[in-house]
């Protein structure tokens, strides 16, 4: 499979699922060309609603639709959907409305547009809400399974997608399950837990580490809420060291979730890699290098963490 953006895989999945299930509707806020629901709208014009640049209204309308049995996918850039936090908090989470919130253009990986368009705190925000799960697929295969799962899943979900292309990382026979992680590579010196685009970078980093005699286990944590406690404890119980890697603020994301869990069940040093401070404009490569999220940066942080 060639590399593909998870937003593109999402758009394709919706087309297929929408043909089989007419409960599925899409809602957009003037970004349907970017969130990739645009083709769904062409194929099912009566089930696609572009509400204009009005994200709060979009989230609320989605909640109402969900209460009548529709399965609404409410889509915008991650920062703009989750930016309507208080509406999500009451109309979606507290109401327990079966809304699928979709945040595309997550992370500094969007590059040149700069901080105002980067979803960098979305995981932290949604993670604090009861009822809503958070899933971030790492490649095309996984995205399509996640979207199919989201349709079946009863209850609100936040799906975090990328603008940039993602290299395939999951094996062809992989089956996504909510609350389950996927060990992509076995190792015994350190556990690398990543989500989204950085999963591939961790696999590359693991190769670099191997040539330095460090054996890294790499886990794809597509499910950020709920965490896969079992896989987490099994892996870090073996390696004794954990490094989390995500294209999200260093505060409150996957790293925060892992650290909180381990602090209670298996205290150990945790190294969190992510975005420090605000994001900024730049090319993806340059930004990933600056924040140490590229393979060499991850490998260097791991070595430092292991005192090697």
Active site residues: 55
Instruction: Say how far apart CA 132 and CA 285 lie, in whole Å.
Output: 32
CB–CB of 289/263 below 8 Å? no
- Asked if residue 25 lies in contact with residue 2, where contact means CB atoms within 8 angstroms, the answer is no
Q: Which residue, 14 or 51, has its beta carbon nearer to ligand TPP?
A: 51
From the list another protein, ligand TPP, none, which binds 43 (C-beta under 5 to 8 Å, kind-based)? none
SS3 49: strand
Total residues contacting another protein by CB under 8 A comes to: 32
Judged by beta carbon, residue 29 or residue 59, the one nearer ligand TPP is 29
79 near another protein, judged by CB under 8 A: yes
What are the structure tokens assigned to 248, written together? 């999200």
Q: Strand, helix or coil at 13? A: helix
Residue closer to another protein (CB basis): 179 or 282? 282
As beta bridge partners, residue 10 has none
Q: Interface with ligand TPP by CB under 6 A: which residues?
A: 29-31, 53, 80
How is 210-229 classified by DSSP, letter by letter?
A: HHTT--EEEEE--EEES--H
Minimum separation from the CB atom of position 53 to another protein (A): 4
What's the closest the beta carbon of residue 81 comes to ligand TPP, in angstroms? Answer: 9
Which CB, 163 or 271, lies closer to ligand TPP?
163
155 binds, among another protein, ligand TPP, none (CB under 5 to 8 A by kind): none
From the list 15, 23, 30, 306, which residue makes contact with another protein (rule: CB under 8 A)?
30
117 near another protein, rule: CB under 8 A: yes
Unique residue bearing structure tokens 């996504």? 176
Judged by CB under 8 A, does residue 32 bind another protein?
Answer: yes
Please say whether the dihedral angle defined by the alpha carbons of residues 219, 223, 228 and 229, taken in this order, is positive or negative.
Answer: positive
48-53-58-60 Cα dihedral, nearest 10 degrees = -160
Place of tokens 């685009």: 197
64 touches another protein by CB under 8 A: no
Residue 136 per-residue DSSP state? -
Min dist. Cβ of residue 176 to ligand TPP (A): 29
Binding partner of residue 23 among ligand TPP, another protein, none, CB cut-off 5 to 8 Å per kind: none
Q: How far apart are CA 119 and CA 24, in angstroms?
A: 25
Q: What is the radius of gyration, based on Cα positions, of the chain?
A: 19
Task: Check binding of 153 to another protein (CB under 8 A).
Answer: no
Stretch that binds another protein, among 114-122, 129-137, 198-206, 231-239 (CB under 8 A): 114-122
Name the E strands within 39-170: 48-50, 71-77, 100-104, 133-135, 157-160, 165-166
Q: Which is nearer to another protein, 17 or 108 (CB)?
A: 108
Closest to another protein by CB, 155 or 282: 282
Residues that bind another protein (CB under 8 A): 28, 30-34, 38, 50-57, 79-80, 83, 111-117, 280-283, 286-287, 290
């Amino acid at each position: 499979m060639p590399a593909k953006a998870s937003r593109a895989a999402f758009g394709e999945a919706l087309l297929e699922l929408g043909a089989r299930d007419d409960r599925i509707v899409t809602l957009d806020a003037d970004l349907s060309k970017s969130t990739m629901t645009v083709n769904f709208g062409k194929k099912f014009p009566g089930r696609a609603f572009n509400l204009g640049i009005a994200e709060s209204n979009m989230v609320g309308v989605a909640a109402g639709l969900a209460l009548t049995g529709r399965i609404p996918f409410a889509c915008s850039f991650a920062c703009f959907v989750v930016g309507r936090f208080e509406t999500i908090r009451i109309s979606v989470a507290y109401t327990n409305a079966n809304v699928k919130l979709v945040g595309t253009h997550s992370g500094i990986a969007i590059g040149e547009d700069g901080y105002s368009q980067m979803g960098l705190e979305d995981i932290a925000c949604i993670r604090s809400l009861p009822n809503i799960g958070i899933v971030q697929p790492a490649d095309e295969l996984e995205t399509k399974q996640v979207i199919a799962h989201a349709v079946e899943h009863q209850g609100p979900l936040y799906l975090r997608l990328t603008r940039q292309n993602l290299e395939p990382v999951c094996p062809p026979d992989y089956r996504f399950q909510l609350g389950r992680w996927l060990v992509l590579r076995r190792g015994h010196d350190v556990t690398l837990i990543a989500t989204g685009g950085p999963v591939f970078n961790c696999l590359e980093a693991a190769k670099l580490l191997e040539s330095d005699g460090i054996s890294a286990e790499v886990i794809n944590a597509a499910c950020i809420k709920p965490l896969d406690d079992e896989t987490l404890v099994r892996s870090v119980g073996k390696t004794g060291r954990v490094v989390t890697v995500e294209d999200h603020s260093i505060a409150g994301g996957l790293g925060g979730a892992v650290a909180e869990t381990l602090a209670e069940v298996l205290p150990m040093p945790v190294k969190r890699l992510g975005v420090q401070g605000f994001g900024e404009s730049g090319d993806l490569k340059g930004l990933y290098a600056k924040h140490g999220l590229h393979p060499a940066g991850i490998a260097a942080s791991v070595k430092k963490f292991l005192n090697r």
